[in-house]
Amino acid sequence: MDLKGKIAVITGSNSGIGLGVAEELARVGADLVINSFTDREEDHALARELADRHGVVVRYIAADMSKPEACRGLIEKAGACDILVNNAGIQYVAGIEEFPTDKWNAILAINLSSAFHTTAIALPMMRAKGWGRVINIASAHGLTASPYKSAYVAAKHGIVGLSKVTALECAGQGITCNAICPGYVLTPLVEAQIPDQMKKHDMDRETVIREVMLERQPSRQFATVEQIGGTAVYLCSDAAAQVTGTTISVDGGWTAL
């Protein structure tokens, strides 16, 4: 597997799954554009570290994925995009009646609409080269639901639909689009949910992870960022050239239940 000469743009990649995907794509030679909404020295330092570790070119471009123009600007500033990984995402948990409108709007904008905007700018670049990969990081919540996650579940089901439409519009052009659907992966996004769950269930950390958070994940093990990154590498391979418009679950059996 060799992605030398390919440029991968990964949204929301200074942490968690996005960083794991960046790491695995760089390991097989892809040059990278990594991103978040912050513009700190440590973000640019992270890009230098990745470049040194893997001998590839890595740029950090700050862009807020809640803003349509910034999403489009990210791909324009990248200048080229052979592999687009739409990964930026946030979570908020509340019942529908209490769900704040600003949180609903932010989740829909970052977890769903950003992928529409980046894809719209990236596709002509891919078509010009006759090769491209769009990889949307959805979730087991793109295929199933949980209470209190209305915006997240709606956005993730939405991105599964967007992946299918993108695949159809690119069919036969050397460009594929798929959604990876992870179950629980221990990242800062999930780490932030643990204290609330401990309080709510009056359980210690280990028990709440095993009995509550991983209750629907039959393996009772978190998926890892390396496994999600490896799945992205597979989708970039020739073996996956006819894999398009579908979902790949990396969820320890969650959606088999």
Residue from 182, 172, 185 nearest 222 by CA: 185
* 158 binds ligand NAD, rule: CB under 6 A: no
* 37 binds ligand NAD, rule: CB under 6 A: yes
The CA-based dihedral angle spanning residues 185, 86, 102, 212, taken in that order and rounded to the nearest 10 degrees: -10
Catalytic residue of the set 60, 92, 148, 152: 152
Stretch that binds ligand NAD, among 21-29, 60-68, 117-125, 204-212 (CB under 6 A): 60-68
Q: Which residue reads 């912050």 in tokens?
A: 38
d(CA 68, CA 112): 11
152 is catalytic: yes
Applying the rule CB under 6 A, the residues between 186 and 205 that interact with ligand NAD are 187-190
* 87 binds ligand NAD, rule: CB under 6 A: yes
DSSP symbol at 226: H
d(CA 88, CA 65): 7
* 143 binds ligand NAD, rule: CB under 6 A: no
Q: Measured from the CB of residue 3, what is the shortest distance to ligand NAD in angstroms? A: 21
Question: Which of 9, 84, 90, 232 touches ligand NAD (CB under 6 A)?
Answer: 90
d(CA 226, CA 232): 10
* 16 binds ligand NAD, rule: CB under 6 A: yes
Shorter beta-carbon distance to ligand NAD: residue 189 or 240: 189
- Cα 109 from chain centre: 14
Residue from 69, 61, 22 nearest 44 by CA: 61
Q: Where on the chain is the footprint of ligand NAD (CB under 6 A)? A: 11-18, 36-37, 64-66, 87-90, 110-111, 137, 139, 182, 184-185, 187-190
- The set of catalytic residues is 152
